Structure 1
Amino acid sequence: MTMPAPPSGQSPWGPTPAGFQGPPPQMTQPRNGLGVAALVLGIAGVVLGLAVFLFWMSWLPALLALVFGIIGLGNARKGLATNKGMALTGLILGAVGLLLAVGGGVFTVTKVTEITDDIRAEVESAEASAKASASAEASASAAAEAARNLEFGETYTYENGLKITVSKPQPYVPDDYVLGHAKGNKAVQVIVTAVNDGTAKVDFKTGLPNVSDADGADAELLIDGSGRQKVLTGNLLPGKRAVGKYAYSLPPGAADRIQVEFSPDVMEYDDAVWTGPVK
């Protein structure tokens, strides 16, 4: 037995019960994550940027905040996000953080350059000063050395006021009883005059001159019994004068010129040197 067909437009199962509706439309979750990230990264970028020497750490969060802020604003305009203000704030903070990063970089580079220039200038100044000092010392040493090299008859003055003069050597005739004089040699007398123009006494500890012949060999000190020789020794008081007389034996082939070195005390004074021909 077949059932009659339902009228047109009606369900074969009969009318739908009253109060029954289909499932509600599903709500889309707002995409607020980028706006939040932009705000957090923007704050981090600004904080790091304010610490000038951390600028190299601030540019990345600031740049990300700028990017996330732009995307978050786009989502808000499309209705996909509800935190437009947060995204905008993150974008602004990201831009500020980038400016701070750039400014910090420029500031740091400028300061490092200034410090480097200052250090370089100090080093160059120190080197120039050291060179000038070394040059001055060398000049002073050369001048002092030149001042200590004299001709016979000239006077050398020490810093304490002691003046030493070596007269031009004179021929010397030893008596019959003589030591240090070989037959055929030429004997010469060296006279050393000391004047104390200082304020303190001077102690002569090494009052013997060192004499070299024309060949540079040490001349032999001549000693005889004539009593004409006198060694500078003892103390020379301020304002006083003393004379030392010495005789030396020179080989005939090197007796035309001699060099005399003298110092009151080799441990305390530099030697002064006199050179010149022998009469």
Structure 2
Amino acid sequence: MTDPANPPAGWYDDGRGALRYWDGTQWTEHTAPLAPADQGATAAYPATPADQTPTAVYGTAPLADQAPTQQYSAQPYGAAPSGAAAYGTTTTMSPPPAPGAGGEPSGPNVVGIIGFVVAVVGFVFACIPFVQVVAWILLPIGFILSIVGLFLKGRKWPAITGLIVSIVGAIVGAVVAAVVVFNVFGQLVDSGVIQEEIREGLESEFGTPVPTESATEAPEESVAPTEGLAFGDTMEWEDGVTMTVSAPEPFTPSDLAAGADQAEDLVFTLTITNGSTENVQPVVLSTLSSGGTEATRIIDVGAEGGQVGIPPTTPILPGESITWQEAWSVADAGSLTMQTAPSFSYETVVFTNAG
């Protein structure tokens, strides 16, 4: 019950420039701003607090121990104190900020999304030997766009993810490039190309012929035929390794293709079969001319049936084969000449459909 010696529960001026709720026995923690003096007659009281459980008293001892008798006696019961709102009515209060307000904005971050997409495409090319030059262009662009996206309004996760993907892509691309260079260098060493270059350099420097390890022996090299093979034929080298290039077929590039810039697009199916007794590390660098014009290699990671234009890098074990497709954009499909070989250890073979 309300103590008759105390004022009834209500909002009163606490003497500190604000309204405070009196629960009938003591001051509570609920406060509200005082209305301007010229609005005191029309302003409304704040709503009665739902929870009126007595709480720790604010301020000094006079506020804690003294009931608002002066204010109570100066005004009739139920009337609003001077400069305050009428008892029992409500005032409009600004709602608290929604959860997460002030945190990450909910709108799209266009620059961050573009940086993420570019970084992902660059990562794909970074994993593909011999076409990594595309990755070294896309990855820095994705990295820069992702950094810019971090400072723009909108969701940050695309920019953060693009930043991570571009960094990881650069690392993966460097590793793949190092492996390819190492394999090519090994092929050159095994084939004697490097030794021959060193020998010629010494001879040009000192003017004296440098003997080779097999000066008295004829070099054992596989010799390709002087005339080109027809597309669909199979070339066999002396160690039993064979290579076949199929006849060209029309090719329709996907939206992700790069290099389709001439009159016609063709695709070839290439197969290497290891008939030797040792592993064959494929390093295939094919070239194609069309009517005297160099054809453009097409790289299509979104082609139907799988990637097109990606040469193999997996070692071929004895007795096994590997097959892949190469797509080219050509000026004249009726006059084609392709030069290719399984690796640097083998003489280049020519496939053609020119009469």
Task: State the TM-score, normalized to the length of structure 1.
Answer: 0.43
Larger radius of gyration: 1
